[in-house]
Amino acid sequence: MPTFAQRIALDDSLSPRQNYFLDLKWTPQEIGRAITAMFNGRAASLPPLTGRIPNVDTRLNTSAFIGQAAKIYLTLPVLQTGTHSPNNMQLSWRTRGKFLSGSVRPGQSTLVFEGIIDQAIMTEVFDFTLSIENGDIPDNFTLETKYEIEVTP
């Protein structure tokens, strides 16, 4: 019977905790589409609201995995504090170091690193963009990313 690699939660408690102001808005190109959708009573066809969360410094404790080949995933839990419907949310990002850029929805994971772990603390700066669909504006939103590691053969 094949065995599957197990993902282990990584400790990110060394990451600075910061509060960010999230200004959700439509791009200039989408404002016309939004006005038309609202005027015609089609709120479900509103373009997504987007907001940037730049310069998110992330520090992951990988000391137990030094010298091992591994994959690291960014996971977005299904329940995000302050959202009305997690299905209407997408988080995308660009990175500035070893990690991969990508996107994820609540309840999913995306690969952000694959290679040999060569540092006890892996650091990365993420520039996140949050997209909220159907005008579902969150209340007092808290972004709750998790990081998991999977040792590979």
In terms of Cα–Cα distance, which of 114, 86, 91 is closest to 102? 91
Domain 7-19+52-151, CATH among 3.40.50, 2.60.120, 1.10.10, 2.60.40:
2.60.40
Mean pLDDT over 25-44 rounds to 65
Return the exposure string of 3-42: e unless at least 16 CB atoms fall within 10 Å of the residue's CB, then b. eeeebeebebeebeeeeeebebebeeebeeebeebeeeee
Confidence of residue 101 (pLDDT cuts 50, 70, 90): very high
Residue of 123 and 50 predicted with greater confidence? 123
Indicate the residue type of 131.
S
Element (H, E) at 116: strand 108-116
Q: 57: left (phi > 0), else alpha (psi -120 to 50), else beta?
A: beta
